[in-house]
Chain A
């Protein structure tokens, strides 16, 4: 009996320690080339992108580096949500006194239709404990939680990364540079892109995501933080889809109502019909990434001063 109790107690102790470590200290793990900690450690930045895998795939960081003299970073997570973006913004502001010349948030029309959820376990890793609980609170308020999700969020999610950290970190860190992808991804070809099926007609605006957009705008204005919402071009089939255009319209209306600056895909000279530029419907190939980044730098430089002047503390 004594041995059974000791075994259970030790198991509980080990589990509790691992859970506590993950929830409290994971944001301090020495992660290279991606994430909030690495971005903060880079120091003052001229441009900081915060978005989803679209930003990760579509922004060429060596080109950005050259244009901004290394003062640029891309924080991105798979399927990153606007609710999470708002929390990530707060986290960045809390964790350093760095200056950010311009924060670029993602104007992803589909982002306002996403149910509030955990899209990428890296989000949990990068957030401090208060950040984690804030995101959980948002999920809870949206009614998207149950016990198994709670357990996954606070216990199991990200444990793989924690236990394999010494090995996998070396592998991961080579795949990114300042948060953006480094691989030479190629297009699957026009035939694939033309035949890829998608149906977004049944989606609807999710109020919590719309509220998060307003939160981001209000906080940036309060902090006097220059910012802009950026729409990345998608392959023309998605870009011109009526439902997609409807969501874009809703997003833009939200930004207009709250007097927030934005750059649309159509403001950047980029050919969305060119199949070679896309890896799938909304992620660019290496060729597309470079072509797009070249134009994006020009647009950002043109608008940078205007955006900085617009950001007066309120």
Chain B
């Protein structure tokens, strides 16, 4: 059941009525049944696997000893690997259960927190089942933690029309981002990236920049919808984006993009790896090779590489995802290792980090490095990646012919100019809104009815019908 569909709208309306009519004792049960129904609509068979994950984890972590923790990891990661990477083992017809990547991470996070005694294991399997299966966050996150979610999920939320309005407004924003912005630029990107070797540098640069727009509009649009849905139910989900394209460095970018996933990796993989004995040993070996380097920095190297390779592979069994992970591991390491030198250098040339031109330079620089990574990620093969980089660096010219060529993927000559104009307006409008919010979080919070009106009309008249599948749904 797509979040942008009539069945989901009907499902939500029914759920809201039943949810707010249920008493304090039963409200969370309505959510659990609703979540199970949502999951069953996707594919009834796959509910078995989420049940296996829920029951085994809850049962094992009731007594969070090391062996139970290891078994939890084996069961959950085993299921994830079987379903996600079966293609690599020659099995082609196994479809991964809906949201398996996300609920596996929530499960493992819960198990790790129990094992580390950060939380008390759940004593009610139904409460735990609701935490894992809560439908707004099930398919694409955000990856919530037990501490943040449990109390909210089981608490009583009386009806509040203000909450319905706020949630509804956020849903409209999300649908607009997805169907109007992501949907429109998506055509261009799909056309160019399906055979990138045939396009010149300028077209490839435009397609790559559009891809940044599409990714953000698609993924943050999805988050707006699920946060809006959850707001309507009185449950606040973790924010997953904080205007990432205004980041001044790649590490900052990853603190502002897909925040819950990166926090998960930080808490459950990166930090534990940094403090392990073997990592200290590796750092000692490295310190002999690089005697001037700080030991603290050397300890970050292996965990960084591990986290980024895992992040890449988590996206799927494609060499481009692995390449993407290695690329960002490299960028992060360069960033860590050069940090102190860059600071000294900046001080030497009186580089004021608060100067707005300096900030703009840093933002553009970050976007360029990010674009390189996304080229690797979006390419369908290694040869495509090479072709794109080659054409960008050897065949980028700006003249009448190359501009005309860059217009071609917008559609035939009869539609190109109008599409270009609409997309430009949308991209600029999105930039203005994001920039204003970067300066002041409260920007564009007034006149909500006017914005809602414009967005509804925009969705109705300019939304790309049949484009309701979200990019991250595939993971």
Contact = CB atoms under 8 A, between A and B. Distances in A.
A164 B465 contact: no
Given A7-B449, A7-B453, A8-B456, A78 B463 contact: no
A148 B469 CA distance: 14
A168 B407 CA distance: 14
Interface centre among B417, B456, B466 (most CB of A within 10 A): B417
Contact of B465 (A1, A11, A18, A152): A152
A71 to B, nearest CB: 25
A60 B217 CA distance: 44
B417 A151 contact: no
B462 A159 contact: yes
A156 B453 contact: no
Interface string B437-474: 00000000000010011001100111111100000000
A61 B11 CA distance: 58
Contacts of B464: 156
B242 to A, nearest CB: 28
Interface stretch (B32-40, B257-265, B418-426): B418-426
A174 to B, nearest CB: 11
Nearest to A15: B460
Interface centre among A14, A77, A160, A163 (most CB of B within 10 A): A160
B278 interface: no
A171 B414 CA distance: 10
A175 B461 CA distance: 27
B96 to A, nearest CB: 26
A94 interface: no
A117 B368 CA distance: 40
Contact of A121 (B165, B168, B415, B460): B415
Contacts of B341: none
Interface size class of A (residues with CB under 8 A): 20 to 34
A161 interface: yes
B453 A160 contact: no
Contact of A156 (B418, B456, B462): B462
A120 to B, nearest CB: 6
Interface string A8-22: 101100110011000
A8 B460 CA distance: 12
Given A7-B452, A78-B412, A148-B465, A160 B418 contact: yes
A163 B418 CA distance: 8
A140 interface: no
B89 interface: no
B175 to A, nearest CB: 13
Contacts of A156: 461-465
A1 B165 CA distance: 9
B421 to A, nearest CB: 5
Given A3-B449, A4-B165, A159 B413 contact: no
Contact of B456 (A11, A148, A152): A11
Contacts of B168: 4
A48 to B, nearest CB: 19
Contacts of B419: 160
A7 B422 CA distance: 24
Contacts of B460: 11, 15, 155
Secondary structure dominating the interface of B = helix
Interface string A62-97: 000000000000000110000000000000000000
Contact of B418 (A6, A78, A161): A161
Contacts of B449: 3-4, 6-7
A151 B465 contact: yes
Nearest to B461: A159
B383 to A, nearest CB: 16
Interface string B131-173: 0000000000000000000000000000001000100100000
Contact of B421 (A155, A168, A175): A168
A167 B421 contact: yes
A252 B424 CA distance: 47
B1 to A, nearest CB: 16
Contacts of B412: 53, 78, 120
A73 to B, nearest CB: 17
B418 A168 contact: yes
A38 B469 CA distance: 41
Interface string A134-162: 00000000000000110110011001110
Contacts of B418: 160-161, 163-164, 168
Nearest to B452: A7
A122 interface: yes
Nearest to A167: B421
A172 interface: yes
A175 B414 CA distance: 10
B429 to A, nearest CB: 14
A233 to B, nearest CB: 21
Given A159-B461, A160-B415, A148 B466 contact: yes
Nearest to B165: A4
B415 A1 contact: no
Interface in A113-144: 120-122
B425 to A, nearest CB: 9
Given A4-B165, A7-B453, A167-B421, A15 B414 contact: no
A14 B457 CA distance: 7
Interface of B: 161, 165, 168, 412-415, 417-419, 421-422, 449, 452-453, 456-457, 460-466
Pairs of residues from A and B, 6 with the lowest C-beta to C-beta distance, nearest first: A160-B418, A148-B466, A11-B456, A148-B465, A78-B412, A15-B460
24 contacts: A1-B161, A3-B449, A7-B453, A11-B452, A11-B456, A11-B457, A15-B461, A18-B461, A19-B461, A78-B414, A122-B414, A122-B415, A149-B466, A152-B466, A156-B463, A156-B464, A156-B465, A159-B461, A159-B462, A160-B421, A163-B418, A168-B417, A171-B417, A175-B413
